[in-house]
Structure formats: structure tokens, C-alpha cells
Amino acid sequence: MSSEVATACECTHEPPHRFVMAHRARAGGGVRVGLKRVDEPYPMREVFVTNRELKMAQDDVYKACFVCVDGGFRETAIALPKAEIELGLPPE
């Protein structure tokens, strides 16, 4: 089941790349999150957030920034707010 959202998030690169969570859907063992870049045109990509990551104590889940990876930058991440990842999705 999919849920439409528009939660803003950004990566740790300077200047940061800005994204919105375009969609979310439960998948086996986690949640697929579609990220759409809003500061420049870029193809939307999906990242997979595992149930284990969602159960960790931090407020955010960090995933590698695909824009930075495509550009050859390392050690940058997109902070995805955990409260928004599962919001409105059915329980697993």
C-alpha cells in the first residue's frame, strides 16, 4: 500500500541537495521511500529503509545521497525523519 507525502529533507553536502518524499510503500522488511529532488531537475529514486533502521533510537534515518554519489562525493547522507517515513502506512 502506498501513501503520498511531501516531507522535505536534505543531504549533508554543502550546499545541500534538497528532496521531498514523493511516495512511500511497505515492502518486505521495511519501507520503500521515493525521493524527488526539488532544487534542480533530477530523476526520482527510491531508497529502502529497513524495519531495523526504523526501530533504532535516533530521530532520523540516514541514507547515502544519490546525487552526491553520482557526482563522486563521498560521506554525505540524506536525513529522513523517522516520524514521516511510516506516517499513514498500515502496520506491518
Residue 58 lies in a domain: yes
The total domain count for the chain is 1
Residue 90 lies in a domain: no
Report the pLDDT averaged over residues 5-18. Answer: 86
Report the pLDDT averaged over residues 63-86. Answer: 92
Residue 21 lies in a domain: yes
Residue 67 lies in a domain: yes
Residue 92 lies in a domain: no
Residue 65 lies in a domain: yes
Closest CA to 61 of 2, 5, 21, 14: 21
Tell me the residue range of the domain where 77 lies: 2-85
- Determine the 3-state secondary structure of 52 from DSSP: helix
Residue 19 lies in a domain: yes
Give this prediction's pTM: 0.84
Report the pLDDT averaged over residues 29-58. Answer: 93
What whole-number distance in Å separates Cα of residue 18 and Cα of residue 58? 21
